[in-house]
Amino acid sequence: MRTVSILGVTGSVGQSTVQVIEELRGQGAEIAVEAVTAGGNLNVLADACRRLQPKFAVVADAAQLSAAREALAGLNVEVGAGPSALEEAGARPSDWVMSAIVGAAGLHPTMAAVRRGATVALANKECLVCAGPLFIEAAAKHGAQLLPVDSEHNAIFQVLTHPARVEKLTLTASGGPFRTSSHETIAAATPDEACAHPRWRMGRKISVDSATLMNKGLELIEASYLFGFPSEMIDVIVHPESVVHSFVHYVDGSVLAQLGSPDMRIPIAFALTWPDRAQVSTPRLDLATLGSLTFEAPDTAKFPALKVCREALKRGALATTALSAANEVAVEAFLDGRIRFLDICRIVEDSLSALEGNGAASIAKSPTSFDEVAAVDQAARDAARRIAGSLAAA
CB 35 within 8 A of CB 52: no
102 binds ligand NDP (CB under 6 A): yes
Instruction: Burial-class residue 181 by CB neighbours within 10 Å (0-12, 13-18, 19+).
Output: middle
CB 71 within 8 A of CB 48: no
Q: How far is CA 214 from CA 61, 204, 237, 263, in A?
A: 28, 13, 14, 21
Q: Could you give the CA distance from residue 290 to residue 382 in angstroms, rounded to a whole number?
A: 47
Candidates 72, 112, 171, 202; binder of ligand NDP (CB under 6 A) is: 202
x-or-dash pattern for ligand NDP, window 296-335, by CB under 6 A?
A: ----------------------------------------
Peptide bond into 275 cis (omega under 30): yes
Give me the DSSP letters along 221-290.
HHHHHHH---GGGEEEEE-TT--EEEEEEETTS-EEEEE--S-THHHHHHHHHTTS-----PPPP-HHHH
What single-letter amino acid sits at 217?
Answer: G
146 binds ligand NDP (CB under 6 A): no
100 binds ligand NDP (CB under 6 A): yes
x-or-dash pattern for ligand NDP, window 239-258, by CB under 6 A?
A: --------------------
60 binds ligand NDP (CB under 6 A): yes
Candidates 264, 313, 323, 333; binder of ligand NDP (CB under 6 A) is: 264
Candidates 34, 49, 68, 126; binder of ligand NDP (CB under 6 A) is: 126
Q: Could you give the CA distance from residue 232 to residue 225 in angstroms, rounded to a whole number?
A: 13
Q: Cβ 136 to ligand NDP, closest distance in Å?
A: 17
Q: Which residue is nearest to ligand NDP (CB)?
A: 11
Total of chain residues touching ligand NDP, rule CB under 6 A: 27
132 binds ligand NDP (CB under 6 A): no
Candidates 13, 128, 376, 387; binder of ligand NDP (CB under 6 A) is: 13
Q: Of the ranges 71-79, 96-104, 279-287, 313-321, which one interacts with ligand NDP (CB under 6 A)?
A: 96-104
Q: Cβ 38 to ligand NDP, closest distance in Å?
A: 4
Candidates 3, 64, 110, 124; binder of ligand NDP (CB under 6 A) is: 124
Q: Which is nearer to ligand NDP, 86 or 313 (CB)?
A: 86
Candidates 34, 150, 349, 377; binder of ligand NDP (CB under 6 A) is: 150
Q: Could you give the CA distance from residue 135 to residue 141 in angstroms, rounded to a whole number?
A: 10
Candidates 38, 46, 72, 333; binder of ligand NDP (CB under 6 A) is: 38
Q: Of the ranges 4-12, 129-137, 287-295, 373-381, which one interacts with ligand NDP (CB under 6 A)?
A: 4-12
39 binds ligand NDP (CB under 6 A): yes
Candidates 12, 158, 174, 242; binder of ligand NDP (CB under 6 A) is: 12
Long-range contacts from 314-318, C-beta under 8 angstroms, 24+ separation? 314/231, 315/363, 315/364, 316/363, 316/364, 316/365, 316/366, 317/131, 317/132, 317/133, 317/225, 317/365, 317/366, 317/367, 318/362, 318/363, 318/364, 318/365, 318/366, 318/367, 318/372, 318/373, 318/376
175 binds ligand NDP (CB under 6 A): no
Q: Of the ranges 182-190, 202-210, 316-324, 325-333, which one interacts with ligand NDP (CB under 6 A)?
A: 202-210
For residue 28, give the 3-state DSSP assignment: coil
CB 36 within 8 A of CB 89: yes
Q: Could you give the CA distance from residue 380 to residue 354 in angstroms, rounded to a whole number?
A: 8
Q: Of the ranges 101-109, 246-254, 288-296, 326-334, which one interacts with ligand NDP (CB under 6 A)?
A: 101-109
Which residues lie near ligand NDP (CB under 6 A)?
8, 10-14, 38-41, 60, 86, 100-102, 105, 123-126, 150, 200, 202-203, 205-206, 264
